[in-house]
C-alpha cells in the first residue's frame, strides 16, 4: 500500500483529544500520514514519519469530511412554489410532502438515481464524505423498496422511512397504513436498509404508532432513528431514548424531561437548522442540550420541501450564529457528532485507523466555516484516501 504524508497543514482537526488540543483535538502546523484508505498517523509536522509520497497542504486547515446523518435525496421535482408562498407568510405543514410523493412515483429509476447522484456531488464539493439518506416519497410497497434500492447504490447509510406521512391512499384509514408500514412494506424494504425512521409529529404519526413502527423495524434487524419534536412538543424524543435510537432528529421543542432523557441515554440529538431557516421557524437550542451533556450532531436534512440545502458549512454558520454553539462545537457536531448519530467510529475523526476522508479549507482555521458564512471555503475533498473533489 502506498503511503502519503500531507504536510504543512495550518491547523488539523482530528477530533481526538489524545492527538491534539481541546474539543477538536486541534494540531497547528500539522501533518497526516495516510496508508491506502486509512489514516496511519496524525500530529505535528516536525514529527511526521516518512512516506512514499508527499502532499503540501499550503497552510490550509484540514478537517474530517463532514458526516451528514440526515437527508432525503430520493425524490423528483422540487417545491419552489411552496417555498415562495411560505416566504410570503404561509406556515409550514407536514402535508406538503404529498407533492413530492406524486412526482417521485411518476419518475423513472434512472431519473431518481441521477437526482441522488447530483445532490451527492453537490454535497461532496462542500466537504461531505459520509451521508445518510432515506426513502419516504414513495409510500407504496413498490415505491419505498425502489427508493431504498436506489439509495443503496450511493451510500451504506440507508433509512426506511415508509412512515414519513400517512400515504394519501390511506387518508381515511391511517391504522391500515401503519399495518402496511410494519408488515408487507417493511418486509420489502428491510433487505435494502440499515435504519428505520418515523416522522413522529401531529399530522404524521403519534407516539403509539411511532413505537409500533420502530419496534417492528427493530424486529427485522433495522436500527431506529426518529424525526422528533420538530414542529411541536411530543413523545418522539423520549421514545427515541427508550428504544435506544441512534438519533432523535430536529429536537426543536423540548421539555426539561426531554433534555434529561437525552442526557441520560445513548441517543444523539441531531439538529437540522436548514429546516428552521427554510421555514422561518424557532431555532433548536443547542446550548441548552450541550450544557446538559447531550451529544449533538448537525446535519442538513436536505429535502425539497423544508430544507433544500446540501451545505454542512451553511448549517455550521447557522448553528453558531443562532443556536448558541461555539465554532468548535459546531465543527465537532458536523463531523464526530454525525458519526455518533450513525454509530460509526471510522469516520468523523482523523487519527490512526480512521477512514482517510478529508476536507481542505481555503482558510487557516476551521473557525472560518462560521466566520466566513456563504463562502465556498472547501477547496479539496478526499474520500478513503483518494482525492474526489
List interacting residues with Zn ion (CB under 5 A): 301
Residue 230 annotated as binding site: yes
Minimum CB distance to Zn ion, residue 275 (Å):
7
Minimum CB distance to Zn ion, residue 49 (Å):
43
Residue 301 annotated as binding site: yes
Where do runs of H (alpha helix) occur along the chain? 80-86, 97-106, 109-125, 141-152, 174-182, 184-189, 207-219, 236-242, 256-264, 273-279, 286-291, 312-322, 327-332, 338-341, 368-371
Minimum CB distance to Zn ion, residue 362 (Å):
31
Residue 202 CA to residue 278 CA, distance in Å, equals: 20
Nearest CB to Zn ion, comparing residues 16 and 301: 301
Residue 154 annotated as binding site: no
Q: What is the distance, to the nearest Å, from the Cα of residue 47 to the centroid of all Cα atoms in its chain? A: 35
108 Cβ contact partners less than 8 Å away, ≥ 6 residues apart: none
Phi, psi of 31 (to 5 degrees): -140, 155
Is 227 in contact with 250 (CB distance < 8 Å)?
yes
Residue 47 annotated as binding site: no
Residue 137 annotated as binding site: yes
191 Cβ contact partners less than 8 Å away, ≥ 6 residues apart: none
Cell 446540501 sits on residue:
310
Nearest CB to Zn ion, comparing residues 14 and 133: 133
Residue 179 annotated as binding site: no
Nearest CB to Zn ion, comparing residues 198 and 377: 198
Residue 79 annotated as binding site: yes
Is 9 in contact with 57 (CB distance < 8 Å)?
yes
Residue 250 annotated as binding site: no
Minimum CB distance to Zn ion, residue 73 (Å):
11
Q: Which residue is nearest to Zn ion (CB)?
A: 301
Nearest CB to Zn ion, comparing residues 308 and 371: 308
Minimum CB distance to Zn ion, residue 301 (Å):
5
Helix, strand or coil, per DSSP, at residue 19: coil
Nearest CB to Zn ion, comparing residues 133 and 209: 133
Helix, strand or coil, per DSSP, at residue 3: strand
Nearest CB to Zn ion, comparing residues 276 and 301: 301
Nearest CB to Zn ion, comparing residues 48 and 181: 181
Is 355 in contact with 318 (CB distance < 8 Å)?
no
Minimum CB distance to Zn ion, residue 134 (Å):
7
Is 66 in contact with 18 (CB distance < 8 Å)?
no
Minimum CB distance to Zn ion, residue 154 (Å):
17
Phi, psi of 335 (to 5 degrees): -120, -80
- Euclidean distance between the first and final Cα of the chain, in Å? 22
Residues at the binding site for Fe(3+) are 70, 72, 227, 301
Residues at the binding site for Zn(2+) are 70, 72, 227, 301
Residues at the binding site for 4-imidazolone-5-propanoate are 79, 137, 164, 230, 306
Residues at the binding site are 70, 72, 79, 137, 164, 227, 230, 301, 303, 305-306
Residues at the binding site for N-formimidoyl-L-glutamate are 137, 303, 305
Amino acid at each position: 500500500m502506498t503511503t502519503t504524508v500531507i504536510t504543512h497543514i495550518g491547523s488539523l482537526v482530528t477530533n481526538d483529544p489524545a492527538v491534539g488540543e481541546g474539543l477538536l483535538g486541534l494540531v497547528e502546523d500539522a501533518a497526516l500520514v495516510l496508508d491506502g484508505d486509512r489514516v496511519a498517523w496524525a500530529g505535528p509536522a516536525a514529527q511526521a514519519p516518512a512516506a512514499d509520497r508527499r502532499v503540501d497542504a499550503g497552510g490550509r486547515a484540514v478537517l474530517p469530511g463532514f458526516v451528514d446523518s440526515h437527508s432525503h435525496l430520493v425524490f423528483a421535482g422540487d417545491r419552489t412554489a411552496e417555498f415562495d408562498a411560505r416566504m410570503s407568510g404561509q406556515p409550514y405543514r407536514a402535508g406538503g410532502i404529498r407533492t413530492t410523493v406524486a412526482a417521485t412515483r411518476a419518475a423513472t429509476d434512472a431519473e431518481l438515481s441521477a437526482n441522488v447522484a447530483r445532490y451527492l456531488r453537490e454535497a461532496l464539493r462542500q466537504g461531505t464524505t459520509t451521508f445518510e439518506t432515506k426513502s419516504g416519497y414513495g409510500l407504496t410497497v413498490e415505491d419505498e423498496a425502489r427508493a431504498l434500492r436506489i439509495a443503496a447504490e450511493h451510500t451504506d447509510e440507508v433509512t426506511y422511512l415508509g412512515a414519513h406521512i400517512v400515504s394519501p391512499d390511506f387518508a381515511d384509514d391511517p391504522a391500515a397504513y401503519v399495518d402496511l408500514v410494519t408488515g408487507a412494506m417493511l418486509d420489502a424494504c428491510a433487505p435494502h436498509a440499515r435504519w428505520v425512521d418515523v416522522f413522529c409529529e401531529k399530522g404524521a404519526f403519534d407516539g403509539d404508532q411511532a413505537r409500533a413502527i420502530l419496534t417492528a423495524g427493530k424486529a427485522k434487524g433495522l436500527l431506529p432513528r426518529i424525526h422528533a419534536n420538530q414542529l411541536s412538543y411530543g413523545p418522539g424524543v423520549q421514545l427515541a431514548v427508550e428504544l435506544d435510537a441512534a438519533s432523535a432528529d430536529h429536537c426543536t421543542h423540548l421539555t426539561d424531561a426531554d433534555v434529561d432523557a437525552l442526557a441520560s441515554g445513548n441517543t444523539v440529538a441531531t439538529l437540522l437548522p436548514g429546516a428552521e431557516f427554510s421555514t422561518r421557524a424557532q431555532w433548536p437550542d443547542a446550548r441548552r442540550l450541550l450544557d446538559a451533556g447531550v451529544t449533538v450532531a448537525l446535519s442538513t436534512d436536505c429535502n425539497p420541501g423544508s430544507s433544500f440545502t446540501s451545505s454542512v458549512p451553511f448549517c455550521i454558520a447557522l448553528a453558531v450564529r443562532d443556536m448558541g454553539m461555539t465554532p468548535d462545537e459546531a465543527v465537532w457536531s458536523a463531523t464526530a457528532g454525525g458519526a455518533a448519530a450513525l454509530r460509526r467510529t471510522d469516520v468523523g475523526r482523523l487519527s490512526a485507523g480512521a477512514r482517510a476522508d478529508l476536507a481542505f479549507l481555503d482558510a487557516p482555521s476551521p473557525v472560518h466555516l462560521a466566520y466566513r458564512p456563504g463562502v465556498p471555503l472547501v477547496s479539496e475533498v478526499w474520500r478513503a484516501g483518494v482525492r474526489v473533489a
